[in-house]
Amino acid sequence: MTGVIEAPAPGRGGPLLRILPPALYAGRARMLMLRSSLAYKRAWLTIFSGFFEPLFFLVAMGEGLGSLVGDLPGPGGRPLSYAAFIAPGLLAASAMNGAVYDSTFNIFFKLRYARLYDAVLATPLGPVDIALGEIGWALVRGGLYSAGFLGVMTGLGLITSPWGLLALPAALLVAFAFGAVGMAATSFMRSWQDFDLVQLAVLPMFLFSATFFPLSVYPPGLQWVVQAFPLYHAVELMRGLTNGVVGWGLLGHLAYFVVMAAFGVVVASRRLTALLLR
């Protein structure tokens, strides 16, 4: 890169279209991630507790209900036990939940009540740095949930292929995408009552994204709706990797989350710029 690039004013970060080295933003964003890690140092149980929800579902439904359901068709038509069928879906839900709840409730409090980002703008960090830092921390939280649940799946013998090693990087991408969209949505929220809309989006995705039942059990019209859910693509991605059924279709699921992440980062950055620098 040639020429001289004007440095942004402290606390402003410059226009979104300003050309800056990505490493500069990444370095500044890490400072906000470090701040979040220090803030959670005494509240580590809050993060650790989120690991148990999918574990309880796996034990209650995979082992309990699974004894009544029997085998289900998995990727490629391969029969899977009910526990092996729902475990990848719960893994995807772990990544989603960790990222969404951190990028919605926590960010809303920091933005509207603690006014944390007003103080951050007094440093060299700007709105884009704030967006990347907070989305990065949501990724870390979703990744921790996913890593813990992957350990449980490994211990129970529910990962049957070496391709399952790629499930964790895939979960990180899923967490990043959901964290980015969650932060973008939070920037439009005006009160705590708006968080009912978060539950309205997350709960149906959790229940109907082929997490607990094959897509084929739904009516044809509803199948199109299910396939539009982001979590459906995460479930299919995890199910394919953990069972070793890898094909070109998985690239489509990955591309879905790359686009989703890019969209979320751009919207979140622009909204923070409008809210904090007005």
pLDDT in 10s for each residue of the chain, 278 residues:
333 333 344 444 444 334 344 544 457 778 888 888 887 777 666 666 666 778 888 888 877 777 778 788 888 778 888 999 999 999 999 999 889 988 998 899 888 888 888 888 888 888 888 998 999 888 888 888 898 899 889 888 899 889 999 999 999 999 999 999 999 999 999 888 888 888 889 999 999 999 998 998 999 889 999 999 999 999 999 999 999 888 888 999 999 999 999 999 999 999 999 988 87
Residue 215's SS3 state is helix
Task: Give pLDDT, residue 11.
Answer: 41
Tokens read off for 45: 């149980």
Residue 218's SS3 state is coil
Residue 263's SS3 state is helix
Task: Give pLDDT, residue 50.
Answer: 67
Task: Give pLDDT, residue 72.
Answer: 85
Task: Give pLDDT, residue 45.
Answer: 67
CA 256 vs. chain centroid, Å, equals 13
Query: Closest Cα to residue 92, out of 162, 161, 156, 167?
Result: 167
Task: Give pLDDT, residue 9.
Answer: 44
Q: Cα(189)–Cα(111) distance, rounded to whole angstroms?
A: 10
Residue entry with tokens 């909204």:
271
Task: Give pLDDT, residue 118.
Answer: 87
Burial (0-12, 13-18, 19+ Cβ within 10 Å), 29 = buried
Query: Closest Cα to residue 251, out of 194, 185, 168, 170?
Result: 170
